[in-house]
Each structure stands twice: as structure tokens, then as C-alpha cells.
Amino acid sequence: MRTLYSGRFEVELKEAIRRLNDSFPFDRRLWQEDIDGSIAHATMLGETEIIRSEDSLKIVEALKSLKADLASGRAQVPDSEDIHTAIEQMLKASIGEVAGKLHTARSRNDQVATDLRLHVRAAIDHIQSQIKAFQKTITDVAEREIDTVMPGYTHLQRAQPVRLSHHLLAYFWMLERDRERLQDARKRVNQLPLGSGALAGTGFNINRRRVAELLGFEGVCPNSLDAVSDRDFALEFLSSLSIIAVHLSRLGEEIVLWNSREFGFIDLDDSVATGSSMMPQKKNPDVAELARGKAGRVFGHLMALLTTVKGLPLSYNKDMQEDKEGLFDAIDTISLLLPALSETLSTAKFQRERMEQACHGDFSTATDLADALVRQGVPFREAHSIVAKLVRSCLESGRVLEDLTDDELKAINPAVTWPERNALASVEQRDSQGGSSKQRVQEQLAEARKRL
């Protein structure tokens, strides 16, 4: 196989070395970005008269035809050293030697950096739309379950009752920050490296801003060394994907817990669950479990790229070929998980009675009693101690707080009243901004809908 640089060498690469060196098995994914970048570059070369306008037009038309053929399946990218070589070979087969003019004033170094930025930009847009769809699912379910009350937990111990809607909307706001992070990162992705050459720029009078305009970039990378050797845009993107994976993993863990018979808070639809090859009774929350498990995979790709670039001298080094496989896999992983979890949540059936019953007798209204004492002038620390002793007494006697009579309450403080001692009354007291009362949760829902 002839390479783009084979004129320098007398012998072909050894097969093992060729296989190690080739990036085509994974960077073939960038064929569309490579063609788009080449169309913009060829257009600019013609406009600046670096190559003849008729040659520029011939190259651009051939590239557009090639893109259409590849998109429709009428053509396949042939095996090559990398996607850039493959596209150039296909172009040469189509229009002959004039195809060689396309590489004027560019290097594979700035070419691949441009392709990767285009790919990451498209991935950001796609994942943002998936997040938005998942957020809509969350708001739809939260609205439907506005009157469902459940135990709220700290340390996985029942703490205070909350609305299920309030609990689910916590994930809406996590995902909203994820969406904002991606949008912010997009600004730094959307800078054009092309025109930086191998590392030092080019001696041709190119118009980089015109190429940026044609490709939809907001600006050009100001330093050629940085442009070809920078991968912090990929690191930032992987970091954002890792945080998304954290949030999806946490939701997955809760679905696993809620789906267990010990909790019994949720029933998953058959369409999103699997069974056991041995135990006929099993119905497994595999989607939620995979959301947990695949998070580590995304984290690993971030750590791998950090490790790859941490000690590289300027500018381009072959190590940077390792920037793609993990990045592509992280994109694929998150793109699979978001719709899968959205479908899991949208089709789930919440066991409202079971969730509300779980709030009874679990001492999760203890803070409400302490607050009732505070309203009668008892300092909170003293109220906290009084109620803590009551809880201990109830545990020793096999009673719960709801069993306390009015006389027993008045023995603590003659002025204290606690007329409603259920979970719903408890959540309604949490009426501070961002709290779990119905009015506040409805405010959240309205703001969430507005964001969408």
C-alpha cells in the first residue's frame, strides 16, 4: 500500500508496524467531516487563486458527489492508512491527478484536528437534543405523580418525606447543568485549526476565516502549534460526558433499589426489562444496571486521554492517534443510555400506596415535631434533643411518633400542637423556595417547562 509519504522511503512498512500505525479501522468514522473540511478548503484555494478556479470547482463537485455516494451506500470507503488517505485515493480515482492539488497548504495534522472538532461539535448537538428529550420525560412523569409521596433518604436511611415529583426533578436540574456544560464547551470546540499546516502555518496566502465561515466555526485557532496539538476540547467534552454518566448512574442505582421487592416502589415495563435463563420468576432492571456499569467505561476514556496527552511536547505526536477510539465509544455509550433510561422511566409504574405507606412509622416526621416545638419558642437544639429522646422511647416501647397522644405531646410542652402527622402534611410544610410542597414543586415544573 502506497502512503502519502512513501516517496521518502525505499521499502514498505513491515506488516506489524503498518497495523500498529494505521488508524483507519476507527477514524473511518470521520469520512463525512473529512469531506466537508476538504470541500471548504478546496473552495478557499480556488477563491484565493492558490489553485486554478476550474480545478477547485472540479475537486469540490467530485467531493460532493463522493459524499452523496457514501451517504447512500452506493460507494464504500476502501481500506487505507487513515480516512484522509482513503478519501484522497477515492478522489484521485474519480478526477485523476488534479486531486493532488487538494492537499495544498494543509497537513494531516490540521486536517485531523478539524475533522475531530467537527465530529465533537455534531456529537454535542446530538447529545444535547437527547438530554432535552429525557428532561421532557422527567417533567411529564413528575407532573403525573405530583401527589405521590415517598420517603426521602440521607445515608440511605429514611429522613423526611418528599414528593416523588420533587425527587425526579432533582435529575432534571442535573441534566440541565449537563446541557449547559455541553453548550459552554461547544464554544471552545468551535474554533478552526485548518490552515495551521503541520505545525508552523503555511507560506500560501490562505483565507482561514473563509474556511471557518464555510464550516460554521465561530473563529480560528490563533496559534498553529496549539491548533494541531491541542486536545483539551476533547478532554473537556469527555469530562462533560463523564458527569452525565455520573447522573445517569445515580438514577440507575435508584431504579434498581426501587424495583427490588424490599422497596417495591416501581414496576418496570416488560419492554425495558430482561429475565433469567435459570430462574423463571426474575425480571431484571438491566437498563438501570448498565447505566451504573457503563459510567466507569466513560470515566476510563477520560483518564486514558488525560494520560496520553499529559507529557507530550509540542506539537503533534503519534500518541495523539489515541484520542479517537475512547472518545467515539464515550459518545456511543451516552447516546445509548439517554434514550434507554428515558424509555425506562416513561413506561414505569410507580406504586403510590406502597411509597406512602413506607413513610408511616419510619420516624421521618420527627423534624416536623421538632419544628412544632420551635414555633412555641423552644430553641431548636433543645427541641432536637426532646424529640430524639421521644424517638428512642418509642423504639423501646414498639410505638411510632404518630401514636403519641395529645396529652403526651402537651406533657412535653403545653402549647405544642401537631394535628396532622402524615407524610403529605409533612411535605406541605416544606414551602420554602425549592422545597417539596405542591406549590413549590409546581413552580419547579413551570420553570422546567420554560427551560425546555
Range list of H helices, 48-79? 53-72
Q: Distance (Å, rounded) from C-alpha 88 to C-alpha 335?
A: 31
Is 155 annotated as catalytic? yes
Whether 145 shows a pLDDT value over 60: the answer reads yes
Q: Distance (Å, rounded) from C-alpha 398 to C-alpha 392?
A: 10
Q: How much is the pLDDT for 16?
A: 87
pLDDT tens for 40-53 read 999 999 999 999 99
Q: Which of 286, 233, 251 is nearest to 174 (CA)?
A: 251
- Answer for the pair 220, 192: CB distance below 8 angstroms, yes or no: yes
Q: What confidence tier does 87 reach under pLDDT thresholds 50, 70, 90?
A: very high
- Answer for the pair 127, 336: CB distance below 8 angstroms, yes or no: no
Whether 1 shows a pLDDT value over 60: the answer reads no
Q: Which of 53, 129, 276, 385 is catalytic?
A: 276
* Cell reading at 5: 509519504
In sequence order, the 6+-apart residues with CB closer than 8 A to the CB of 223 are none
- Answer for the pair 302, 273: CB distance below 8 angstroms, yes or no: no
Q: What confidence tier does 400 reach under pLDDT thresholds 50, 70, 90?
A: confident
Q: What confidence tier does 84 reach under pLDDT thresholds 50, 70, 90?
A: very high
Q: How much is the pLDDT for 255?
A: 97
Whether 33 shows a pLDDT value over 70: the answer reads yes
Whether 413 shows a pLDDT value over 70: the answer reads yes
Q: How much is the pLDDT for 387?
A: 85
Identity of residue 136? K
- Answer for the pair 320, 116: CB distance below 8 angstroms, yes or no: no
Whether 66 shows a pLDDT value over 80: the answer reads yes
Q: What is the mean pLDDT of residues 410-438?
A: 84
Q: What confidence tier does 7 reach under pLDDT thresholds 50, 70, 90?
A: low
pLDDT tens for 280-319 read 888 899 999 999 999 999 999 999 999 999 999 999 999 9
Q: How much is the pLDDT for 365?
A: 84
Q: For the chain, how are helix, strand and coil distributed in percent, rounded to 5?
A: 65, 5, 30
C-alpha dihedral (113, 116, 122, 124), degrees to nearest 10: -100
Whether 424 shows a pLDDT value over 90: the answer reads no
- Answer for the pair 139, 447: CB distance below 8 angstroms, yes or no: no
Q: Which of 72, 155, 277, 397 is catalytic?
A: 155
Whether 237 shows a pLDDT value over 60: the answer reads yes
* Cell reading at 302: 477520560
- Chain centroid to CA 407: 55
Q: What confidence tier does 3 reach under pLDDT thresholds 50, 70, 90?
A: low
Q: Distance (Å, rounded) from C-alpha 267 to C-alpha 302?
A: 35
pLDDT tens for 154-177 read 999 999 999 999 999 999 999 999
Q: Distance (Å, rounded) from C-alpha 358 to C-alpha 150?
A: 7
Is 301 annotated as catalytic? no
- Answer for the pair 69, 75: CB distance below 8 angstroms, yes or no: yes
- Chain centroid to CA 126: 10
Q: How much is the pLDDT for 4?
A: 56
pLDDT tens for 356-368 read 999 988 888 888 8
Q: What confidence tier does 9 reach under pLDDT thresholds 50, 70, 90?
A: low
Tell me the residue ranges of DSSP E strands in 227-348. Answer: 266-267
